[in-house]
Structure 1
Amino acid sequence: MQDAVRSRTTETIVDACDRENPVLVEAPPASGKTYNSVRLAAEDGQKILYLTARRDLYAQAIEEAEKAGGIDAMVIPSPYRDCPTFADENDGEAEKARKLYQKGLSGEEIHYKPWSTVNTPCQSPWSTCPYLTKRDRLKENADQIDLLIGNHQHAHVPRYLQGRTVVFDEFNINPFLTRFPQRTKSGERRNIPHNIIGAFLEAVDDIPLSDLTDLIEARVEKGDSWKTTIEWFKQNGAKKSTSIEQVTITPHPYNNSHQYAALLTCALLIMEKVGAGIELAHDPDLWEACGVDPNVRCVRDRNSGEILVLTPPDLSHAEQVIALDALPVQRLWEAVLGCDFTLSRVIERKELDRYLSEGLGFKITQMTEGMNHYSSGKTSSRDRQRMFTVRSLEEQRFPIISRKRALDNYASESWLKKCVIEVDDQETETDLEGYFARNYAKVLSSNLFKNESVGFVSGSPFPGDDVVKQWAALCGEVTEPERTGDGNSGSLDGFTGFGEEIYRHLTHGQVFQAILRFGRTKQARGRPTSVYVNTQAIPEWISTSQITIHDFDNNGKRIHVLEELLRAKYDGGISWQTQRTLQDRINERLENETVSDETVRKVVSDESFSDVIEVREDAGKGSADLYQWSGECVLSPYYDRDARANYMLRTGSKVYLIHVPEIIDLANPTTEL
C-alpha cells in the first residue's frame, strides 16, 4: 500500500505544479514528499525552493539531489548555523547578536554594526564571516542553483522565490507570527508592547500622543489627534524602515526599539473588537497606504496584554506555491501565507487509518480516557503506573514525548529511569536532561525517534483558551470555549465555530504528528511500531486498541479473587475451588473487608478470563462448578519495585496488576505460569 501512496503523491505534486493557483497537498506521512520535491528539479527541470522546519530534511534533500544527479542544490545560510558569533564559538557577543536578530535586524545588518554596539569578531577588514561568505555566493549564483533548501522564514526574501516553485513542507506558523511580549527560556519578558509603543511615540514629535492610553482613547474618540496620527503614518509609513528611522535598535536591555514599533502603534489606532477581550487590526487599504503588506494582521488580547503580529510572505515572486501537510486546516494555511489554496488530497482521511496500520505498520494503544492537557505541568498520579505497564508489555524502556512542563515534572521522579531510555546529553539531542525525550514544541522540527519502534506520547499539547481565541481572531473569527460545568473550571468540550478546527489542530493534530515521530525508517519497520498514547486527543478516524489498568486501589476485590486462584494452584493444597470455597479462602486472609459471593461469581464467570481460569462444570460437591488457575496463563514481570504488584496479567484490553506470593517460584519450570 505504501508504494501506491508514494506513487499517488508523485502524481499529485506534479499536477500541482501545472495548476494556475497555489495548491495545498494533503499527503500522509512517509509518502515521499521530500523525494518528490527534489524530483521536480531533477526530472521536470524546475527551479525549486524547498522550505521545512526540520533540519534533518535539509540533509535528506541534498542526499536525494545527489542520487538524482545533475542537480545543483544548496542550503540557504543561516546566522545561527553558519556564524561563529551567533553559535558562541568565539569571543564575540553572541547574546547581543541574537537580541538584535530577534528585534528584526538581519544577519547582515548585525555584522556591519559598530563593535561598540555588538562585537562580531568573525567579520573584520581582514576576514569575512562564513555566514556572509555563503550568503554572497548565493546572491551571485542564485540563477544556477536548481534546488534551494531553507526554513519557512526564507519565504520573506523575494530573491529566493523569484522564478521558483516554492514548496512548504508542513504547517509552521512560528516564522510568520511575532508575539509581544516574548519570554526567554529563563522566563524573562522582553519586547513589552506598551514600552515599545511608548518609546516610538516619544521619539516622534509630530504625533500628538504620548503612550498606549492616549492611543486607545484617541481610537475611541476618532478626533483630531487620531486623524493627525493616521495621516502621519500614511505619509511616513508603518514599516521596518519607519521604526529604525525613529528609534535606534540596540541590544541594550533597556532599549525599547523593535522593527514592528511603527506597525504596533498604527495597528492600535484601527483595532476592532472580534470577541470578548480580543481586537483585530486588518485594514488592507490603510496598510498599503502605509507601505505594509495588505495581508498583515495584528491581534490584541486585552485579557493577557499580548499583541500578535502575523506577517505573511509576499509570494507573488514565486512561479507556483505548493504546501504539503498531513492534516491541513486550509483556512490557517491561507491566513499564514496570505493566499488562497486549492486543496488536493493524496488519499481520503478515511483511508489514513489503513495506511498507518498496513502501510507503515503502526499499532496505536490508548492508555487513558482523559484528555490530560497538562498545561500547568501537573501530571496524572496514574502516569507512573501507565509507563510501568508499557515497560512490562514491551519488556524494554522507551522514548517519551510530552509537554515541557510535564517532562520537567516527570524528571523529578526517581522511577522515570526504569521506564524511559537514559541518554548522555553530550552525545544525544534531548529535551530532558539524561533522558531520551522530546517536548511537543519541537515535534514537527525533529526526527529524533525515527529508529524507535516503541514510544510513549503523554498528554495533549493544548496551549490554553487564549491561543485558540487569538488564532481565530487572526482569521477574523470569534470563538469561545464550551465547558461542562460552571464557569471556567469545568472540563473543556471544545470551541464554538472555527475555533473547534483550531483546537483540534493544536491538540489532536499535534498528537497525531507526535505519533508519527516513531518508526520512520526501514530499520525501525523491521517490527511493528507500537505507540502508547496517554490522552484522548487522537483524531477520530484513527483506530486504537485500549488498555484499562486494574490494580488493588481501583479494583481490589477482583484482584483478591485472581490472587487467591493463583495461590490455590501452587500452595500445595487443593487447586480446584468452588465459588464458596474460594470466597472462604479470601475472607480468611482479609482483616478489614470481605468479598461477597456475587463478586466471586462475576470474576470466575467473566468471559475475558477464559484463558486464565479453567472450569469443570458440575464437577464439585453438590454439582458445583470447579475453578482453577490455568497452567497455560502467562504473567509478565511488573517492574515497579515499590508497588504492591510484582506481576501483570493481560486479558484483551484489560491489564491486572497482581501480587504473586513468594511461595510461588516462577523461575521453577515445574510451577511455570
Structure 2
Amino acid sequence: MTGSDPEDCCRGAYAASQKDEFTQATVWDACRSGIRDAIESQLSDSQSSAVIIDGLPTVGKTRHATDIAFKLDAPVAILTHRYETRDEHLHLASEHQKTVAEIPTLDRDCPTRQGEHGSEWAERINDYRSRGASPTYLHYYLQDALPCMRDGDCPYIERWDAVESADVVVGGPAHAALDRVVDDRVVIFDEDPGTAYRTEFDANQLTSAISSFLRESDSLPIDNYLGLLAVATNESMADIQDTIRDELTDTESISQPTAAVNNEDGHAEAPTAILAHLEFGGSIVDDMGPDYYDWDDSLREQAELDYVELEDGAQVVYDRTESRVFIRRPPNLDGARAVVGLDGTPVEELWCGRLGIDDIESWRILCDDCRARYLCDVIGYTFVQTTSHVKPYSSGEYVNRRADFGVIEAVANQHETKPGIITTKSAAERLFEEPPNEPFIHTERVTRRVADVKHYGALRSSNDFVGMDVGIVIGSPHPGDRPIQITAALEGYTAVRDEEGKGTDLDYGIPERPFLRHYREHKIAQAVLRFGRTTAATVYIHTGVLPEWLAEMVTAGPDAVEIAERSEGQRAVIRALLDGGPGTASEISNREGVSIGEKQTRDWLKRLRSEGYVCRDESQPYTWSPNGLDDAPHTADVRLPELN
C-alpha cells in the first residue's frame, strides 16, 4: 500500500491520517485492519494469494489476530511455536463468546509423556516421537500396552473431539500438517513456522535408519545402506531402482510409522530417504526457463548439495560433504479458506517454501520512515551502536570477554540499573559460565549487575524483557555456511560464499542476501525490539550488522563510543587497590599478583584517576586511594555517549 502522498506510504500512515495523529493506537489500528483485510481478501476471492503481515514486534499482532479470529464468520486455526504465546491467545479468547480449544500435544495432554507412568515409558514415547511416529498413531498402535490408554482414551485423544467442533483452535505450526486442523479454516501463523516441517539425518542416523528399514522389508532386493548406494549410482540397475520405487510408493504394503516403532534404529522417513537417493543426480528444476542459470549443476558442483522433490511433496536436500539428509514436508493448505502469516522480519522466499505455497504477498504495516517515527518518537526507543565490528558469536570462538564485560559494566553504571542481555547461546556460556582464561577478570562482578541473559534462539515470541528500559545485544548470530546453503537449496537457490566478502560485506551470491539477512540481521532486529516494546527503552547494540532500516534509527554510533581494553597489569592494579586499600605506587607494585614495575603502576594509577575511579593525596610520594573503584568497569575503560 504505497503512493505519493504521505498518508499513502503505508497502512500506519493511512490510519494516522484518518485521526490526524500518529500514535501507538493508530499503528495498532493499522495492524488490526491489515490482518482483517488479508483474511477477507482471501475469503471473498479464492484466487487471492496468502499474505504475510510485516509488522514490528511491538504492534500487537498476537492480540489483533485473536480479536479478529472471534469476529469472523469462518472457523480459525491460530498456530504458534511457544506455549506461552498459545496461552496468551487462549487467555485473550476468554474475552469472547465463541468456542475455543487448544490442540492437544503430548507435552501437555499425555500422562505417559509427562512421566506419570514412570520415566521408562516417558523416554520410550520420546524415542518414538524422535523417530517420526505421530502422537495419534502411537496411542492407537500401542493402545493395548500404553498406560494412559488402559482405562479408556488418553486425555490427548479425548481432547481432539473439542478441536473438531471449536470455532477457534490454537496450536503449533506442526499441526498445520493435519487436514482436520486446517481444512475449511482461516489459518493464522503467528511467527515464521521455521523448521517445524523438517527432519534431519546425520550420517550415522541415515545409515542406521535406511539399513534397519531395508532389513525388515523382505520384498525389497537390497538389505542395507551400502546396497542402496550401489543400486542408486549404477545405471545398469535401473530395473532394481524401479522395483524399489514401486514398492515404496505402494502405501498398502509399507507402513512407515510401524517401521519407526518396531525397529530400534527405524525412522518413519526412512522410505523417503531411500526414494530420494534413487533420484539424486537427476533433474532438479525444469521450469526456470532458458535464461536461468543451471541450478542443478551449480548446486552440486559449487555447494556440494543435491535436491529432489518427490511425488508425495517431500523436498529433500543431500549434503554430499557430510552424508546428511534434510527432509521437508510442507503442509497441504489447499483446503484452508485463507492463510495469513504474522512476522516482524519476513522473508517471502522462506514463507512460500515452508508453507508449500507458490505465491505469498507481504503487507507492510509501517514503511521505513514510519517505523522510525513509531519506534523513536511514539514508543521512545534510543539505539546506541557501540562497535562497527560484526562480532560473529555463534560459535563462541571470537567472544571478547574484556570488551563485552566493559560495555556491560559501563551501561549498568551510566543508567544505574541492571540491563538485560541478549547474545548467542555459545557466547552466553563463554561469558557467564566458563571460567576466564585470563587473570583478574571476575565474572561475578558482571553477573551481579545484569538482570537476565537470553540467547537469540530462545527469543521467538518471547516477552521476557517487556518493560525493561535498558538492554544490550552482544554479538551477531551466524549459523555457519552450511545451514545457510541448505536453507537456500530448499528454496531453489545456490548459496556460495564470496571469499572476498567478509564481515558486513559477507555475501553468498544471492541478490539482496535474503537467507543471510534471515539468520543474522533479522535476528538482531528481533532481539533489539524485545526490550521495552510498548514502553521507552535504551538499547545498546554491540555488533556492526543491522538491517538498514534499523541502522537509520541509531542515535549514537561507534564513533561516539570508546572502548579501551584493560591489560593484565591494569587489572592487577585495580585488584590490588580493592584488596589492599590505599598505597604509594611503589607499595602497590609490590603487592601480590602485580607483575608490573613501579613506573607502569604509576601510569595506570594516573589513568584510573583520569577516569574518576582513583584519587591521590598531596603527600610525596603520592598515596593513591580507590574512589568508586568497586563500580569501575574492570576489563575495559568504556566511554559511552551522554544521552538526552
Q: TM-score range by the shorter chain?
A: 0.7 to 0.9
Q: Distance in 2 between matches of 1:344 and 1:337?
A: 17
Question: For residue 439 of structure 1, what is the aligned residue in structure 2?
Answer: 455
Unaligned runs of 5+ in 1: 182-188, 424-434, 557-588, 596-603, 610-634, 654-673
Q: Distance in 1 between matches of 2:128 and 2:348?
A: 34
- 1:469 deviates by 0.7
Letter in 1 for 2:631: Y
Question: For residue 592 of structure 2, what is the aligned residue in structure 1?
Answer: none
Question: For residue 468 of structure 1, what is the aligned residue in structure 2?
Answer: 484
Query: Cα gap change, 1:637/1:149 in structure 2, threshold over 3 Å: closer, same or farther?
Result: farther
Q: Distance in 2 between matches of 1:241 and 1:418?
A: 65
User: In the alignment, is residue 377 of structure 1 matched against residue 404 of structure 2?
Assistant: no
CA deviations on 1:337-386 (whole Å, 9 max, x unpaired) are 11121222222234323322123322222222221222322311321212
Q: Distance in 2 between matches of 1:241 and 1:519?
A: 57
Q: Aligned ranges for residues 143-542 of structure 1 at < 5 Å?
A: 143=165, 145-181=166-202, 192-223=205-236, 225-237=237-249, 242=254, 244=256, 247=259, 249-250=261-262, 255-272=264-281, 274-275=299-300, 276-283=302-309, 287-288=310-311, 292-293=312-313, 296-339=314-357, 340-378=359-397, 379-381=399-401, 382-410=403-431, 411-413=433-435, 415-420=442-447, 436-484=452-500, 493-497=506-510, 500-520=513-533, 525=535, 528-542=536-550
* Normalised TM-score (structure 2): 0.75
CA contact (8 A) 2:472 2:539 kept: yes
Secondary structure, aligned partner of 2:277: helix
Query: Cα gap change, 1:73/1:161 in structure 2, threshold over 3 Å: closer, same or farther?
Result: same
CA contact (8 A) 1:400 1:456 kept: yes
Q: Distance in 2 between matches of 1:130 and 1:300?
A: 39
Question: For residue 580 of structure 1, what is the aligned residue in structure 2?
Answer: none
Q: Distance in 2 between matches of 1:372 and 1:240?
A: 54
Secondary structure, aligned partner of 1:468: helix
Letter in 1 for 2:349: R
Unaligned runs of 5+ in 2: 1-22, 43-47, 282-295, 436-440, 570-597, 605-609, 612-626
Query: Cα gap change, 1:420/1:457 in structure 2, threshold over 3 Å: closer, same or farther?
Result: farther
Which range moves more in the overlay, 205-214 or 362-371? 205-214
Please point out which of 2, 16, 28 is paired with 1:6: 28
- 1:491 deviates by 9.0
Which range moves more in the overlay, 82-91 or 299-308? 82-91
User: In the alignment, is residue 100 of structure 1 matched against residue 92 of structure 2?
Assistant: no
Query: Cα gap change, 1:234/1:86 in structure 2, threshold over 3 Å: closer, same or farther?
Result: same
Secondary structure, aligned partner of 2:417: coil
Question: For residue 19 of structure 2, what is the aligned residue in structure 1?
Answer: none
CA contact (8 A) 1:479 1:499 kept: no
Q: Aligned ranges for residues 550-569 of structure 1 at < 5 Å?
A: 550-551=563-564, 553=566
Please point out which of 41, 45, 48 is paired with 2:73: 45
Letter in 2 for 1:230: D
Letter in 2 for 1:401: I
Question: For residue 79 of structure 1, what is the aligned residue in structure 2?
Answer: 106
Question: For residue 134 of structure 1, what is the aligned residue in structure 2?
Answer: 159
* Normalised TM-score (structure 1): 0.72
Query: Cα gap change, 1:385/1:591 in structure 2, threshold over 3 Å: closer, same or farther?
Result: closer
RMSD across aligned positions (CA): 3.4
Query: Cα gap change, 1:210/1:112 in structure 2, threshold over 3 Å: closer, same or farther?
Result: closer
Q: Distance in 2 between matches of 1:538 and 1:330?
A: 19
CA contact (8 A) 2:410 2:639 kept: no
Q: Aligned ranges for residues 10-29 of structure 1 at < 5 Å?
A: 10-17=32-39, 18-19=41-42, 20-29=48-57
- The higher radius of gyration belongs to 1
Query: Cα gap change, 1:218/1:232 in structure 2, threshold over 3 Å: closer, same or farther?
Result: closer
Letter in 2 for 1:72: T
Please point out which of 533, 539, 546 is paired with 2:557: 546
Secondary structure, aligned partner of 1:541: helix
Secondary structure, aligned partner of 1:437: strand
- 1:131 deviates by 2.1
Question: For residue 148 of structure 2, what is the aligned residue in structure 1?
Answer: 122
Identity of aligned residues (%): 25
- 1:97 deviates by 0.7
CA deviations on 1:432-470 (whole Å, 9 max, x unpaired) are xxx832222221142222232222222212100001111
Query: Cα gap change, 1:13/1:637 in structure 2, threshold over 3 Å: closer, same or farther?
Result: farther
Which has the higher relative contact order, 1 or 2, with Cα contacts under 8 A spaced 6 or more apart? 2
Query: Cα gap change, 1:553/1:198 in structure 2, threshold over 3 Å: closer, same or farther?
Result: same
Letter in 1 for 2:102: V
Query: Cα gap change, 1:351/1:148 in structure 2, threshold over 3 Å: closer, same or farther?
Result: same
Please point out which of 633, 636, 639 is paired with 2:631: 639
Q: Distance in 2 between matches of 1:304 and 1:638?
A: 51
Q: Distance in 2 between matches of 1:6 and 1:490?
A: 36
Query: Cα gap change, 1:590/1:417 in structure 2, threshold over 3 Å: closer, same or farther?
Result: closer
Q: Distance in 1 between matches of 2:346 and 2:230?
A: 40
Query: Cα gap change, 1:651/1:42 in structure 2, threshold over 3 Å: closer, same or farther?
Result: closer
Secondary structure, aligned partner of 1:452: coil
Q: Distance in 2 between matches of 1:262 and 1:232?
A: 10
- 1:512 deviates by 0.9
Q: Distance in 2 between matches of 1:644 and 1:3?
A: 43
Q: Distance in 2 between matches of 1:240 and 1:370?
A: 58
Letter in 2 for 1:546: G
CA contact (8 A) 2:565 2:635 kept: no
